[in-house]
Amino acid sequence: MEPIKVENITNEIKSRNFFFNNELIFNYFNCLKTKPFLILTGISGSGKSKLSQVFADIISKGDKSKIELIPVKPNWKDSKGLFGYHNLLDNTYYVTPLIKLMIRALNDPENPYFLVLDEMNLAKTEHYFADYLSLIESRQLKVKNTTTNINNYNNLKENFNFKQGASLSEAIILAAIDFNTNRYLPVADYREHNFSKLWREQFSNVSNENWTPQFRTELNQGENRLANRVFESPNGEGRNYRLKDKSSLNSSDRAIIDRLEKTYTELINGESIEIYQDLITLHNNDMCIGVCSDLGCPITECSYNNEEKYKCDKLYNNSLDTYLVPPKMPIPLNLFTIGTVNIDETTYMFSPKVLDRANVIEFNDVDFENLLDLTGDFEEILRENSNNIWDEKFYFDDEMELQEFTIDIPNAEHAKRFMNIYADGFKDILTIFDILRGYNMHFGYRTMNEISLFICNVNKFTSFEDKLQIAVDLQILQKILPKFHGSYEKLWNPLFNILLVCMNEIPSDYKNKLNYTSSDIEKLLAFVSEEERHKRISLNKEVLKNKYKYPRSAKKILSMMKNLEMHGFSSYIE
């Protein structure tokens, strides 16, 4: 993936006459990076599908082959609408847009691909999407043991290859990491290192006499070259170089150095981390098949067995736009799935097991003030009851570049890291877990690990002072609350207890209390809002920010409590 400047994301969105606030864009990115399955819900016409399409288009730099929008059909009762099926009569395969997208993604693992399921709850998600959810949940990290001698070229080549599109700068940095010295070294030392030789074999066609100038160009030619930014030469002489101190680099370049240091450490420590996952069976043939009887695999002696035929580079012919379907295949690790949802009498509610596997971003906040630059009386009409809480500073660091857009696999190590970098937030998540356990509504390991990974990702991509508190707020809102769906008797007390966790200050009368009467609620709401009874649950954004450390979650909880009072029933997705 070619680097993308984050400022170009917001500028590109504005140039297309769309308005999405910075917090939403940053939240959207981190949700996808944490788990490649995201649900967007909210009122119709609020921009759910547009954000999905525009964001994917920007990341893909306009390459439509990397994006597929699939409208879900109400008659989907099984996975055939997504995964297609094998026609046994003529031994062909009904290839769906999803299968084509997956094959293209498998054929191009270095770049992200996007699947948008529009109106995904028009059919029961558990019927047509169960196989997909099972596959992405089967992913796990496994340690691959290797022993790499960096000084032995053949051994290095056997155990390491640069990613597609890697620059010469990365090879020079890896060489510097291997030298492990603070001395200035001649350019020739970097040029003759095995990492540089391996990069040249993979990517460069220059002759021996042109190899030296290419190196000098990489180190000397302007800030558009990574090596020029991260190496320094004494007094600018241009003949000897060493890596700069990482603290002097911008966040994007520092992230690249960190990634390459991790790569080097894995090589010399004799182990690397790989992601394994289950495969879905598409047909039982021992050869890949196509959409018509004369379009099958022409190779009778295939080097891949049935479990690995998806690795074959002949599955997709770009020039002819033809596809061959392997017997089995995984969900590509570079495929990100976004589902848009509207709730009315024609749709189905999600089950807890679906909601448990995703972040849920709600699109109910409509910002006409900023979209239309309203002033005067027009602005006053909307400002009095405005409760849009987003923070424009909760965004990527300035001048950051996205070097890659890949998924991470949540695990217990992320939970330990969350505990170390933000102990107060970790305690609040544990408190909510303990509250819900008392009502048999608690969450499991997966939710805790995914919350933790989201916090770690936010910590990586922004240095904004309040980033971790906002991140915890978003995860309560998007990972814990979406499964709340039910009657007054079921939801009132657990919601009220979580509301207390969200508060900055809890009245002493309500500490360590598990059950609350209507009188308790009256007193607490009066303490929170200090307004008239009918306005107590319709809090404006200033009251929310002043009274709650997690105002986004508190706003949603109060809305659900209002529905419980009025209707005796409430649901997160409305």
pLDDT at 531 over 70: no
Residues 42 and 180 in one domain: no
**Average model confidence (pLDDT) for the chain?**
85
Model pLDDT, residue 322? 87
* Residue 370 pLDDT class (50, 70, 90 cuts): low
| pLDDT tens digits along 402-441 | 877 888 889 898 999 999 999 999 999 999 999 999 999 9
Domain membership flag for residue 284: yes
Residues 561 and 424 in one domain: yes
Residues 128 and 166 in one domain: no
Q: What is the 3-state secondary structure (H, E, C) of 150-167?
A: CCCHHHHHHHCCCCCCCC
Model pLDDT, residue 385? 57
Q: For position 70, which CATH number holds?
A: 3.40.50
Give the strand pairing for 271-276 and 322-323.
Answer: unpaired
Residues 426 and 559 in one domain: yes
CB contact at 8 A, 352 and 479: no
In the DSSP assignment, the letter for residue 327 is S
Domain membership flag for residue 386: no
| pLDDT tens digits along 335-345 | 999 999 988 88
Q: CA 193, 256, 112, 6 torsion: positive or negative?
A: negative
Q: What is the CA radius of gyration of the chain?
A: 27
Mean pLDDT throughout 347-369? 83
Residues 228 and 296 in one domain: no
Query: pTM to 2 decimals?
Result: 0.80
431-452: buried (b, 16+ CB within 10 Å) or exposed (e) per residue? ebbebbeeeebebeeebbbbbb
Residues 61 and 203 in one domain: no
The domain total for the chain is 3
Range of the domain at 415: 406-571
> Which H helix or E strand runs over 494?
helix 488-502
| Gap between the Cα atoms of 77 and 85, Å rounded | 14
Query: Locate tokens 């954004």: which residue?
Result: 541
pLDDT at 323 over 80: yes
* Residue 143 pLDDT class (50, 70, 90 cuts): low
Residues 203 and 303 in one domain: no
Model pLDDT, residue 52? 92
Residues 79 and 176 in one domain: no
Domain membership flag for residue 366: no
Q: Of the residues 323, 341, 359, which one is the last residue of a structural domain?
A: 341
| pLDDT tens digits along 10-33 | 888 888 888 888 999 999 999 999
* Residue 513 pLDDT class (50, 70, 90 cuts): low
Residues 119 and 216 in one domain: no
Higher pLDDT, 298 or 531: 298
> Which token pair is 102?
């997956």
Give the Cβ contact number of residue 557 at 10 Å. Answer: 29
Query: Locate tokens 């933000």: which residue?
Result: 422
Say how many residues make up the chain.
Answer: 574
Give the Cβ contact number of residue 310 at 10 Å. Answer: 22
pLDDT at 168 over 80: yes
Model pLDDT, residue 9? 85
Q: Of the residues 288, 312, 341, which one is the last residue of a structural domain?
A: 341
Q: Of the residues 247, 273, 299, which one is the last residue of a structural domain?
A: 273
| DSSP per-residue codes, 318-365 | TTTTEE-B-SEEPPPTTEEEEEEE--STTS-PPPHHHHTTSEEEEE--
Domain membership flag for residue 148: no
Integer CA distances (angstroms), 324 to 131, 444, 548, in order: 21, 40, 55
Residues 308 and 254 in one domain: no
Model pLDDT, residue 535? 47
| pLDDT tens digits along 242-254 | 999 988 888 778 8
pLDDT at 120 over 80: yes
Residues 317 and 329 in one domain: yes
| Gap between the Cα atoms of 323 and 111, Å rounded | 19
Out of 215-224, 324-333, 343-352, 384-393, least confident range: 384-393
pLDDT at 529 over 60: no
Residues 423 and 556 in one domain: yes
Domain membership flag for residue 448: yes
Domain membership flag for residue 209: yes
Domain membership flag for residue 348: no
pLDDT at 534 over 50: no
Domain membership flag for residue 199: yes
Residues facing 485 on adjacent strands = 571
Higher pLDDT, 469 or 20: 469
> Which token pair is 132?
């997909």
